[in-house]
Chains A and B, each alone.
Chain A
């Protein structure tokens, strides 16, 4: 699996309701040691309810300038949340779509928790 297999992919909850798109992958450098740095562990998926684009992460940081851009991007990405990787039930497998007419999607587990995505 590569990061592009998850980025921009629609996200469904356990009932099949569309909840947004994967706009980023949250990584934590606490995996097994591998060279000078620890391997980044996939900690979760950042999901935006409205847009699959991501622009400079304004909605995840305290940066407020330039004001028009920050305001527009925050508004576009309002409701963005982080879902832990342990709450992911299934991810699309490249080349193994059950129905080619249906778009691949990430499906979340029942009872998953929406965390604040701010860094």
Chain B
């Protein structure tokens, strides 16, 4: 399908009133950042964000199905990590079952990396590492103690 050229807008842009809270752009400040746990250990890369409408108290009326999307307040509820390499090249999105999520309540700080307030071992996200540690590395000779001999 041939795409129409975008409309040429020549009017001035309205100045944006400064919102009360900290302002972030998802791609610029969050996506593809490294996620670190409470001990500064890398946990994953932030591949996507889960967005959900929150109950803003609006009473569903007879035209609820035709309500504009922007009428509902939408918030970020979780950080997502998943197999996005193929979909970023070829398009589409991974199935929802392949996403691993970290609830937003665990986020402690946002900077050059996203820092969590929990240990990585306590997250479902790191199960492959734990499984490899217990079933592969742990079975190698010397795989169950610190090579420096402290434990």
Number of B interface residues at 8 Å Cβ cutoff, please give it.
52
Q: When chains A and B are docked, how far (Å) is the Cα of A15 from the Cα of B52?
A: 28
- A residues near B16, Cβ cutoff 8 Å: 82, 115-118
Structural contact, B15 and A39, CB atoms closer than 8 A: no
- A residues near B105, Cβ cutoff 8 Å: 34-35
- A residues near B117, Cβ cutoff 8 Å: 35-36
- B residues near A41, Cβ cutoff 8 Å: 21, 73-75
Q: Mark B99-142, 1 if CB is under 8 A from A, else 0.
A: 10001111111100000010000000000000000000000000
Structural contact, B25 and A88, CB atoms closer than 8 A: no
Option from A3, A19, A109 in Cβ contact (under 8 Å) with B48: A3
Q: Mark A13-50, 1 if CB is under 8 A from B, else 0.
A: 10001111001111111111011111111110010011
- A residues near B106, Cβ cutoff 8 Å: 35
Within 8 A of A (CB), among B64-92: 68-71, 73-77, 80
CB of B57, distance to nearest CB on chain A (Å): 12
Taking the complex as formed, is B13 at the interface, i.e. its CB lies under 8 A from any CB of chain A? Answer: yes
A19-B9 contact, Cβ under 8 Å, with A25-B25, A28-B23: yes
Closest to B3 in A: A18
- A residues near B93, Cβ cutoff 8 Å: 2, 4-5, 94
Q: When chains A and B are docked, how far (Å) is the Cα of A37 from the Cα of B28?
A: 19
- A residues near B3, Cβ cutoff 8 Å: 10, 18
Structural contact, B21 and A28, CB atoms closer than 8 A: yes
Which of B5, B6, B31, B77 is packed against the most chain A CB atoms within 10 Å? Answer: B6
A109-B1 contact, Cβ under 8 Å, with A2-B50, A29-B21, A119-B23: no
CB of B149, distance to nearest CB on chain A (Å): 38
Q: When chains A and B are docked, how far (Å) is the Cα of A25 from the Cα of B30?
A: 10
Which of B1, B104, B108, B117 is packed against the most chain A CB atoms within 10 Å? Answer: B104
- A residues near B71, Cβ cutoff 8 Å: 86
Known: A17-B4, A23-B27, A32-B54. 4 other contacts (CB 8 A): A25-B26, A49-B7, A90-B68, A114-B11
Q: List 10 A-B contacts (CB under 8 A).
A: A3-B48, A18-B4, A36-B117, A38-B21, A40-B24, A40-B76, A41-B21, A57-B27, A91-B69, A115-B13
On A, residues with C-beta under 8 Å from B are 1-7, 10, 13, 17-20, 23-32, 34-43, 46, 49-50, 54, 56-57, 60, 79, 81-82, 84-91, 94, 101-103, 109, 113-119
